[in-house]
Amino acid sequence: MKKKIALQFCILFLISTQFLIAQTKNVNFLLSTLASSKGHWKGTLTYLDYSSAKLVTIPAEIDISFTSNKTGYIRAYSYPNEENSNSTDTTYTKQSGKYFGKGKVVRFIKFNSRDFTLTTEFNDVDGNDKKQATIRNKYQLEGNSLIIRKDVKFKGTTNWINRNEYRFTNQQKNQPRVDPKTELQNPQKIEYKNEQKLVVKDKVLYNKIKALDSSLFSAYNQQDLTKMKSYFTKDLEWYEDNGGLLNLETVSAKFQAIFNKRDKITSELIKETLEVFPIKDYGAIENGQYRFKHLEKGELKVGIFRFLIIWKNDRGNWKITRVVSFDH
């Protein structure tokens, strides 16, 4: 019986993981969903100088608008100290939103009526010696902050290199504000991934897992490692795209290292991404995204990561047996 349950668990775990991976394929979006980024933005450009291998930061501004027929996304970059470098770029969608310019849309998430993350990838050459590489562009709007980032992975390597990153703040007054109480309290009203809506099938189970998640990451934000460990089974298996397979001891050590840092990191569940599915005679699958924030040299850094958690219900005692953390 134990072997049968274990086999069913593994099959379900693999199917669930493959389902999540499949969701990132053939993503498409409407250009109009980027309308909240329109306007004048001011900030900095930080780029990697390949010649000196040093990071350089300069003032930068951007004006974002649409073409008159609303089919093109216009970005006019200007540099107060280097006006000769000013440029304008207009990007169009292709194949019903599967491509943004020449980049394939590998990820698009609309968190509420304004905030979004758009990631594209394409193959090209980069660097002073024009090596073959995969280029990843990421556009992230959160509140009054806009980040446009370019990462490069050269052919034959596994590491991504941050080529440049724009960090802007909106300069227009009376920008529409998102009220988190109205935007996030109902997961069914938020469109997510290919305009699909989340549906809560089992409200009792959904609320149970949501409460457990809240308690777990309350302990994380309070840097209470002992309480955090109480949510995991001793045979925990934690799968991480950048770290491989980790056990409870290694995971605990990683959390402690994070807590030891001077710049405190906090985490919050992006509530509208939360999905919960029952596992017959075992527990539940939790799927969603976390937003991590921390200060680095006085600047707020924000990252959004995806996860899948397997919860085991042992006569009302819920604990985590498996975690898949990815898309870092």
Using one digit for the tens of pLDDT, what is the confidence trace for 205-242? 999 999 999 999 899 889 999 999 999 999 999 998 87
Lowest mean pLDDT segment, chosen from 102-116, 120-134, 260-274: 260-274
Model confidence pLDDT, tens digit, residues 86-98: 999 999 998 888 8
Residue 301: which pLDDT band, with cuts at 50, 70 and 90? low
127 has pLDDT over 90: no
Query: Is there a single domain that holds both residue 47 and residue 15?
Result: no
Entry pTM: 0.51
5 has pLDDT over 70: no
Query: Is there a single domain that holds both residue 264 and residue 226?
Result: yes
Residue 48 lies in a domain: yes
Query: Is there a single domain that holds both residue 7 and residue 35?
Result: no
Query: Is there a single domain that holds both residue 77 and residue 12?
Result: no
- The overall average pLDDT reported for the chain is 80
Query: Is there a single domain that holds both residue 165 and residue 201?
Result: no
185 has pLDDT over 60: no
Query: Is there a single domain that holds both residue 223 and residue 311?
Result: yes
Query: Is there a single domain that holds both residue 67 and residue 14?
Result: no
CATH number at residue 244: 3.10.450.50
Tell me the mean pLDDT in the region 8-12. 47
What is the span of the domain harbouring residue 289? 2-26+193-326
Residue 185 lies in a domain: no
Query: Is there a single domain that holds both residue 37 and residue 152?
Result: yes
What's the total number of domains in the chain? 2
Residue 115 lies in a domain: yes
Query: Is there a single domain that holds both residue 9 and residue 49?
Result: no
Q: Is 228 exposed, middle or buried (CB count within 10 Å of its CB: 0-12, 13-18, 19+)?
A: buried
Residue 73: which pLDDT band, with cuts at 50, 70 and 90? very high
